Structure 1
Amino acid sequence: MTRTPQQIFENYVHAGALTRNADALAAAFTADGVFEAPLMPADAGFPRRLVGREEIRDAMAAYYARQAAGGRVPNLEKSGYVLHTTADPDVFIAEIDTVFDGDGADGEDGEDGEDGEADQVVSLVQIFRIRDGKIARLRDYFAPELMS
Structure 2
Amino acid sequence: MSRTPQEIFQSYIYAGSLTRNADALAEQFTEDGVFEAPLVPDGAVFPRRLVGREEIRAAMAAYYERQAKDDDRKPNLQKSGYVLHTTADPDVFIAEIDTVFDGAEGADGKQGENGKSEDVTVSLVQIFRVRDGKIARLRDYFAPEVVG
Same fold per TM (> 0.5)?
yes
Cα pair 2:26 2:54 within 8 Å, conserved: yes
> Separation in 2 of the partners of 1:51 and 1:95?
23
Using the TM superposition, name which of 63-72 and 11-20 deviates more. Answer: 63-72
The DSSP-based 3-state class of the residue aligned with 2:77 is: coil
Task: After TM superposition, list the pairs within 5 Å mapping 1:59-138 onto structure 2.
Answer: 59-69=59-69, 70-102=71-103, 112-138=112-138
Cα pair 1:100 1:120 within 8 Å, conserved: yes
Give per-residue Cα distances to partners, 1:22-61, cap 9 Å, x unaligned.
0000000000000000000001000000000000000000
1:108 aligned partner: none
Give unpaired runs (5+ residues) of structure 2.
106-110
Cα pair 2:15 2:22 within 8 Å, conserved: yes
Give per-residue Cα distances to partners, 1:53-98, cap 9 Å, x unaligned.
0000000000000011222100000000000000000000000000
1:107 aligned partner: none
AA matched with 1:6: Q
CA-CA distance at 1:136 after TM superposition: 0.1
> Separation in 2 of the partners of 1:128 and 1:62?
23
Task: After TM superposition, list the pairs within 5 Å mapping 1:129-148 onto structure 2.
Answer: 129-148=129-148
CA-CA distance at 1:114 after TM superposition: 3.8
2:44 aligned partner: 44
The DSSP-based 3-state class of the residue aligned with 2:88 is: coil
CA-CA distance at 1:113 after TM superposition: 2.9
Identity of aligned residues (%): 74
Give unpaired runs (5+ residues) of structure 1.
105-110
The DSSP-based 3-state class of the residue aligned with 1:9 is: helix
Provide closer, same or farther for how the CA distance between residues 2 and 39 of structure 1 changes in structure 2, counting only shifts above 3 A.
Answer: same
Cα pair 1:103 1:112 within 8 Å, conserved: no
Q: CA RMSD in A?
A: 1.4
1:16 aligned partner: 16
Number of residue pairs the alignment of both structures matches? 142
